[in-house]
A = this chain, B = another copy of it.
């Protein structure tokens, strides 16, 4: 694709999405760098463009329009002090709560901070007076960049309209030449527009009817419950699954795996069986409704990633929707329970029995294979499987990053648990995990079992001092594979030269000394056969304890991969 075509596709996609979101007005101040935005807005039959030479006047003019319509008006100017002239009206819009979409053109990154003419620092130019700032990507024709520009338009509109309304600022770096292709709106290849439903904690009658219609017409729907802090929607999600016959894929941090322990709709083995292309093809949905954050499971992500043509609703609160795959077709800011009940109560369909049975059969076969693996193998997954099966019912478990939470996702089937799972999955760091688990123990006043890697435990050893000061009960179970286990699963592991130095980072620590430093109970489980008894024995210990289990990083990778093959074969066998 030529530079000009790429530029046109990128800007056209952005404009189409704005129009889909209800934008009809733009106020443009003349300038060169902003040519792509100005030309294409002016060129579009559905945008009413107003030219206003002085940017200060232009911004107040747009403000006046938006006051009347209550809808965001687009502002476009070139780079340099032009943008700074918008500031008075941006401030007024902020305090008067008027939605404005401020689009400033900028030099590309290589011409910033090098003394290029009319290139000023436009990043966060309006400070705290805009509700959102985004420095946009340089136009490219790759799908991910086109998705980015499309979804940035959606997000900008949502942020501007979310109460209290206000201005947002997007900064567009454009390389020369700056002229787009005009007159091609009818034939332009742009993304399918994405919808937003925002500003409502409760779903409106109209939206409930519209979404229920989609659900009722779907043949192969699926419900995905992602990580959430708020378990109050559990029963409503279960009802939704029962009324529709859609499988309910429950992330380990969804609070659903334990709650729905006995449920018909619960699918918990997907992390293992969605590794297979064959199974993925069989289970391709025609409708997705997802709740909360992105699930932990990477195979599930990879399953969803190519499904851009499938209606995909994301229900989440606020306007920071979590959609790294750019696969969502409608962002919904709504209470999970409220929308689930609104759809369930309007369900008018025979539950999709055959479709759910297919999922259940594959799930059942997979979790049996996982159970067999747990009994017969010695890798970290099997160790975690055995730990989970040795815990007291309904206890609190904290999973470290990055391997423990992933293994737990795979090995926490209905053969283990139920229990309440916690993890630090906001930014997925290995730092601070011990202290967070101690805080959970302090707040619950119940024993917490922390399953953690050796690097992560090392990182937050200091946190253990709290054991001397507060009566918390935390059982730290460290899988010591002497270094960073998850890196062995990465392509980088194929390069042995610097791998151990930079990724393996073997600390070679014997944690018995750390236990002595803080006067903690300590045990080392030498063999996998000792796991059950060792973990069960912890129920007699008080305070903070450390249980060390030595595992092998390299062997671990091989055995995990073998499990995925076994699951695949077993599923093929029963279908």
Most chain B CB within a 10 A radius of its CB, from A61, A318, A427, A435: A61
Give A432 to B435 CA distance when docked, in angstroms.
Answer: 53
If the complex has contacts A427-B92, A440-B65, A469-B50, are A60 and B25 also in contact, measured as CB distance less than 8 A? no
A426 near B97 with CB under 8 A, answer yes
Per-residue contact bits, chain A 148-168, to B (CB 8 Å; 1 contact, 0 not) = 000000000000000111000
Task: Please name the 5 residue pairs, one residue from A and one from B, whose CB atoms are nearest each other, closest first.
Answer: A64-B439, A96-B426, A60-B432, A95-B426, A60-B435
If the complex has contacts A54-B465, A462-B54, are A229 and B98 also in contact, measured as CB distance less than 8 A? yes
A163 near B92 with CB under 8 A, answer no
Stretch of A39-47, A66-74, A383-391, A491-499 on the interface side: A66-74
Give A489 to B164 CA distance when docked, in angstroms.
Answer: 33
B56 near A443 with CB under 8 A, answer no
Chain B contacts of A53 at CB under 8 A? Answer: 462, 465
A466 near B52 with CB under 8 A, answer yes
| Number of residues on chain A facing chain B (CB within 8 A) | 74
A310 part of interface (Cβ distance < 8 Å):
no
- 9 additional A-B pairs beyond A25-B443, A61-B435, beta carbons within 8 Å, are A64-B398, A64-B439, A64-B443, A66-B439, A67-B440, A92-B432, A97-B229, A164-B318, A165-B229
Give A517 to B440 CA distance when docked, in angstroms.
Answer: 72
Per-residue contact bits, chain A 404-442, to B (CB 8 Å; 1 contact, 0 not) = 000000000000000000101111010111111111111
B460 near A60 with CB under 8 A, answer yes
B68 near A444 with CB under 8 A, answer yes
Closest to A52 in B: B466
A215 part of interface (Cβ distance < 8 Å):
no
If the complex has contacts A54-B462, A92-B429, are A439 and B61 also in contact, measured as CB distance less than 8 A? yes
Per-residue contact bits, chain A 464-501, to B (CB 8 Å; 1 contact, 0 not) = 01100110000000000000000000000000000000
Chain B contacts of A25 at CB under 8 A? Answer: 443
A63 near B424 with CB under 8 A, answer yes
A57 to chain B, nearest CB (A): 4
Give A425 to B91 CA distance when docked, in angstroms.
Answer: 11
Chain B contacts of A466 at CB under 8 A? Answer: 50, 52, 57, 61
Chain B contacts of A62 at CB under 8 A? Answer: 439
Give A230 to B69 CA distance when docked, in angstroms.
Answer: 10
Q: Which of B73, B316, B426, B443 is in CB contact (< 8 Å) with A91?
A: B426
A302 to chain B, nearest CB (A): 22
Chain B contacts of A470 at CB under 8 A? Answer: 50
A356 part of interface (Cβ distance < 8 Å):
no
If the complex has contacts A97-B229, A432-B89, are A64 and B317 also in contact, measured as CB distance less than 8 A? no
A353 part of interface (Cβ distance < 8 Å):
no
A354 to chain B, nearest CB (A): 38
A397 to chain B, nearest CB (A): 13
Q: Which of B27, B88, B164, B433 is in CB contact (< 8 Å) with A429?
A: B88
Per-residue contact bits, chain A 223-238, to B (CB 8 Å; 1 contact, 0 not) = 0000001100000000
Q: Which of B67, B230, B444 is in CB contact (< 8 Å) with A436?
A: B67
Chain B contacts of A95 at CB under 8 A? Answer: 426-427
A288 part of interface (Cβ distance < 8 Å):
no
Give A8 to B300 CA distance when docked, in angstroms.
Answer: 55
Per-residue contact bits, chain A 538-568, to B (CB 8 Å; 1 contact, 0 not) = 0000000000000000000000000000000
Give A230 to B165 CA distance when docked, in angstroms.
Answer: 11
Closest to A27 in B: B439
Per-residue contact bits, chain A 317-342, to B (CB 8 Å; 1 contact, 0 not) = 11010000000000000000000000
A residues 364-420 near B (Cβ < 8 Å) are 398
Q: Which of B64, B96, B200, B431 is in CB contact (< 8 Å) with A427?
A: B96
A442 to chain B, nearest CB (A): 6
Q: Which of B27, B92, B200, B432 is in CB contact (< 8 Å) with A57?
A: B432
A202 part of interface (Cβ distance < 8 Å):
yes
Chain B contacts of A229 at CB under 8 A? Answer: 67, 70, 96-98, 165
A509 to chain B, nearest CB (A): 18
B433 near A60 with CB under 8 A, answer yes
Chain B contacts of A441 at CB under 8 A? Answer: 64
A188 part of interface (Cβ distance < 8 Å):
no
A170 part of interface (Cβ distance < 8 Å):
no
Per-residue contact bits, chain A 297-324, to B (CB 8 Å; 1 contact, 0 not) = 0000000000000000000111010000
Most chain B CB within a 10 A radius of its CB, from A59, A89, A199, A317: A89
